A and B are shown apart, each in its own frame.
Chain A
Amino acid sequence: MSTPEADLSLFIPIIQTNPLAWKMRQNASGFAPLNQKYGQNDKEEYNEGDALHRALEHIRTVKEKGAVEERHLQTVEDIAWKSGLAPEDIDTLLDVALSGPFDLPILLQYLIPTAFGLVQHPADGPTQWVPNPTADHCWATAEAVKTRMLKCLIPATLIPESAVVRAFSRLCASNCSNNTKVLFFRWLIAMFDFIDGKEEMNSLYGFFFSFLQEETMSCYICNFLYLLTKRENVKPFRVRKLLEFQSKVGMQPYLQALLSLYRSFCPDLITISLPPKRKFYFKTTDSIWQAAVCIVKERNQKSPLPSVKLTIGTAYSHPQKKKWNSGCVIPMPTSSHVSKEEQDEEGDSSSLEVMLSGQKSFPLEQLHTFSQLLDNIQDVELPSQMCSVLKSAPLLHYLNCIQDETVWLRLSYWMSQELKEGCTWCKVSNYTSEEEFRKFLDIIISAQCFLQEGFPSSEVFLYKSLPLWDGISCRTEYLQLLSWIPLGNFSEIKPLLCDSLTQLFFTSSIYHKCSVLYSLKQLLENWLLWHAMKVSMKSTLSISADTPMIALNSVSELIYYVGWLSTIALRLEKNSSFLLHFILDFFEMVSDMYLNYNLPLVVIFPRGVFYPALLTSDSIALNRLCYIMYRYRVNLTASKENALIYQERLKFNKTYQEFNEYVTALVDCLWTSTSFEKDHYLYIDPQILEKTKIREYKKSLNLINHPALLPYSINFLLQVKGWPNEKELSLSSIQKKKWNWYLDYLLLEELHGLHLFMESSLDIADSASSAHTHPAHKTPKTCMSEPV
């Protein structure tokens, strides 16, 4: 920690007192045993609070009578650095540190060694040193004590504002050395966030400001003023003073920072443009203090207070070598340069009036956290460039609760321009690279996620740019925009979206198909959430009666569209199980719409999805299919009670029929092995099947022989091989008791979907005995084709 060296002057009268007085005091106070205890230290639990209390008591009283004893100072230091000081202790110590000179002889006697760093723990009581009473040394020692006291002012919780105010008035009144002043201000800067109030300090603004004249500490004063300044502190005479100061010292970064803060408060008085490259405007803050505070907070197991320092560097830095109007640059939020009041008035006098009227507004440059927003929500003003809200979470919160059309319009104008300019495949301009555009889209997407809705300009951009999209550039980001299309009339959206999307979908790679399906799933989820929210808000807001019908139609049309895409995609990709999983993901959400999102709608997936999933060789897909069928049954059963569905039951008959067909097919395949028989969906002419020369082709798709389950059945047999009466591996041997064991085995292998389907959809009316005999006796439990 370096402090600017100041000349030590000796004009302060030093009062001599009798050293005897101190000795008497020492005997009277009887601190010796405690000190010994403390000397032994650490291993023993000793009452830290008491020790501190006594030490401080000593320090406080000693200021009138004599000097500070080294061991007490040491005690205070140790405790301060270890656990921090309570507010009242800080008050005491500050008061002592900044009030007048100390008594010299005693100081000399006890503190010269420390001043030279010779004695650490005077455990054996005061060490005897030969006093060397030259004036310089005396002064230096007094200074050293003050310095040590100031340095150990580490708060355990908060610093009382009153203490700071008192200390500052002492600083002004007494003749402190420059070193002490500098240290005090450095301490103030480092601890600014821990001071429990700033109002009283702010009322002393003029006094703080006057310290600027002392050049040695002007950089610290600027830094401190930067933290303290409010709009009402910015006055024309101060601006003039600062400009005078600027003409004296030139371009000093600390002064630039303060000036730019003044500019942000009162752009009508002063303006400055900061050089673009600089990042730090103040000397690095005293990190040892900050580290100490952190350690203390950690030890006291209190979450550290939010330490928000104004970071001017990042706020004003602009990317270099960018054209001024090139795309995808989002500025930081800055206060409006021309305020409302100025708009209505004219002339130079008005700005002065505005300023003197003391309008309160909280500058955006200082808004960083949600709690700051809450504290100042009445005084927050909107940024001069609305687009800057995209980068600021508190401002997005703020926008979300104000009702002002112009805000969204400003954002919308900007965003549609920016998207058009930046879009790399539309080639309106070549200012932006794909990487930049991707980052830009990311920012928009995260803002959309934050607001939980899409921006109209990004929706329009999507529709306009989709026909030109190659399907590769910024795929992840672009498709995320897709998932935020607002819930509207699907017949309106369809021609804008689906035509281009379908073409791209069919001609692109399987990974592209999967990502498109994934975003469509996200889109469906967003729509369902919006709908659920609308329904819950219906009691408070008037919503036209056709809104739910539009939602129902749009959702079902979207599902049909995805079903159609999936059917064709599965054929194109030869029933790839990777693709199948994305499709089943989508329909898993669809199957649960009624119960999860309160949407009176059940849409069954198309055959093109069901049969590939049924005949897959992927056991997980088959398991998921069973799970989806189970969820469909639960939702359909629950929806029977819904009045709306009851009214529309004729429409729903088709849904039930479809569902029943699937259940029958599933049971036919896996359990009864009748799927190839006449009148079943998978019917194939027996003569053809004979030609395949598969023995027992009828059973080839049951739970044991199904290609997806074959590994399980074989593994099962291998495990039971060691059992008595097992001579050879024969799949047909899984019967009766073993059949049930096999079913348990499948459950153990985590095929829960299969199990849930079996439990819900198979009629086990003739229970245990018959089930043991042969699995084929089970009959599917279909849903009633008409709701009761």
Chain B
Amino acid sequence: MDSSNVPEFTPKHGVPPRLRDYFTGASSFQRQLASVRKQTPFGQTPSRRKIPQCSPLQENIDPQKIAFLLHKQWTLYTLTPMYRFSYTNLKQYSTLLKCFLAAEKQKGLAVEMGEDFNFKVTFSTLSGMKGTHRDPAAFLIQIVSKSQQSSKNAEDKVVWTGWFCCVYGDSLLENVPDDFTCLPLFLANGAESNTALIGTWFQKTFDCRFTRLTISAFNLSWMAAMWTSCNMEHYGTATELLWSVPCSPQSLDISYAINPEDAKALWDGVHQTPEEITQEEVDLFIDCLCSHFHRHFKINLSATRLVCVSTSVASAHTDGKIKILCSKYLIGVLAFLTELAIFQIE
């Protein structure tokens, strides 16, 4: 009998469907299974990627806001989809979060909603910070401590900043119901204690889960290649790679700095397919750098671990810290980070 001919019906008071039924229908679970089937536990990545491009939507971003995000060190987190987050309630969230922070800071004393404190919390959207129109809007949270002076000139000081974004997150978005908002990448700058409090509040309020996003040496080498391939009008800093030699009592770091034009020339030599970067090209690029180093210093870098990459586009550390330097490729950098974040939460 053909199963498609069987009329579908769900009895109203019947036995509830089994868990599995929810997940076989929703392709989320199927996809998870499929990803598992690739036989690469916790570590499969595509073998080819697009060269980072400017997104046309980026023009919508307020240049001031972009400037604010650049040249800061961000700690990276991943975030599972947020349940029942609504962009229309940002004002209310800021009140709730402010009181939560106040209550946490004076543990044991109750705080009335709407009370005034010597700091404020603001939520604001970063419109345009997205790859496609389907990506949910990014938003920014700031804790601003109010200045004690009464004079109006005294500037409020930003104590902590964090922002949530999703750039080209299609692979995640297509499987998530409307009740969820997918902003898998969270970047924080400021005291860790504040990050902890705000993260806790988000976890409690939107049933999501924060985890630190660390970048493996493998992905760092991808970053090195991708960022070297970017066309820059002028280079701000040298391309620098940091290799860590595991030895006791303390580890030894080898810094390898290259003139960015040389790096680009090397990359152009390695790179073949237009608009795309392949795994082979990345490997070759890094191998070339390593063999060059070996020729001069007789040190085999392939036996060590790549821990940090810094270029004129951005710099990234393996423990999940990033600094974005170039506004032109902001979206491109975020797209790759979003990809890593989505990979981690799946």
Contacts and interface: CB of A to CB of B under 8 A. Distances in A.
Q: Do A and B bind each other?
A: yes
Interface of A: 239-240, 242-243, 246, 251, 256, 259-260, 262-263, 267-275, 323-325, 331, 334, 337-338, 340, 342-343, 346-348, 351, 384-386, 400-403, 405-406, 408-410, 412-414, 416-418, 420-421, 426, 428-429, 451, 453-456, 460, 463-468, 486, 488, 492, 495-496, 537, 540-542, 544-546
Interface string B96-115: 10011011100111111110
B214 to A, nearest CB: 8
B260 to A, nearest CB: 34
Given A273-B104, A348-B114, A492-B33, A413 B80 contact: yes
A324 to B, nearest CB: 4
A488 B211 CA distance: 32
B112 A256 contact: no
Contacts of A268: 96, 113
Contacts of A463: 33, 36
Given A405-B22, A409-B180, A386 B207 contact: yes
Interface in B75-125: 77, 80-81, 83-84, 86, 88-89, 91-93, 95-96, 99-100, 102-104, 107-114
A263 B15 contact: no
Contact of B28 (A384, A401, A409): A409
Given A273-B103, A346-B89, A496-B36, 17 more contacts: A246-B109, A246-B110, A251-B108, A269-B112, A271-B111, A272-B109, A324-B199, A400-B16, A413-B208, A414-B80, A416-B32, A417-B80, A417-B211, A429-B211, A495-B37, A542-B6, A545-B3
A485 B162 CA distance: 40
A363 to B, nearest CB: 15
Interface in B168-207: 176-177, 179-180, 196-197, 199-200, 203-205, 207
A495 B20 CA distance: 20
Contacts of B81: 413
23 contacts: A262-B110, A268-B96, A273-B103, A325-B199, A337-B205, A338-B93, A338-B96, A346-B88, A346-B92, A351-B113, A385-B207, A386-B207, A400-B16, A405-B22, A408-B22, A409-B180, A413-B345, A456-B20, A460-B29, A468-B42, A540-B14, A544-B3, A545-B1
Contacts of B103: 271-273
Nearest to B201: A337
Interface in B26-40: 26, 28-29, 32-33, 36-37, 39
Given A239-B112, A271-B113, A337-B96, A384 B107 contact: no
Nearest to A262: B110
A512 to B, nearest CB: 20
Contacts of B197: 324
A403 B203 CA distance: 24
Contacts of B36: 460, 463-464, 496
A292 to B, nearest CB: 35
B44 to A, nearest CB: 10
B218 interface: no
Given A410-B207, A413-B81, A453 B19 contact: yes
A178 B330 CA distance: 70
Interface residues of B, number: 73
Nearest to A468: B41
Contact of A259 (B29, B110, B211, B346): B110
A387 B90 CA distance: 25
Given A409-B180, A456-B19, A540 B11 contact: yes
The 8 closest A-B pairs by CB, nearest first: A544-B3, A324-B196, A272-B110, A413-B80, A259-B110, A545-B1, A273-B103, A251-B108
Contacts of A347: 91-92
A260 to B, nearest CB: 8
Given A455-B19, A496-B36, A243 B6 contact: no
B33 A271 contact: no
A324 B180 contact: no
A239 B26 CA distance: 45
Contact of B19 (A267, A408, A460, A544): A408
Contacts of A410: 83, 207
Given A256-B108, A256-B110, A414-B80, A537 B15 contact: yes
Nearest to B9: A542
A755 B18 CA distance: 43
Nearest to B209: A417
B274 interface: no
B210 A325 contact: yes
A429 B212 contact: yes
A271 B23 contact: no
Nearest to B95: A348
B180 to A, nearest CB: 7
B275 interface: no
B269 interface: no
B109 to A, nearest CB: 6
Given A239-B112, A405-B22, A496 B107 contact: no
Contacts of B92: 338, 342, 346-347
B7 interface: yes
B107 A271 contact: no
B233 interface: no
A244 to B, nearest CB: 10
A334 B204 contact: yes
Contacts of A429: 211-212
B17 interface: yes
A86 to B, nearest CB: 42
Interface in B325-346: 344-346
Contacts of A256: 108, 110
Nearest to B6: A542
B110 A243 contact: yes
Nearest to A420: B42
B270 to A, nearest CB: 32
Contact of B23 (A338, A343, A421, A456): A456
Contacts of A416: 32, 345-346
A325 B108 contact: no
A467 B41 contact: yes
B205 A243 contact: no
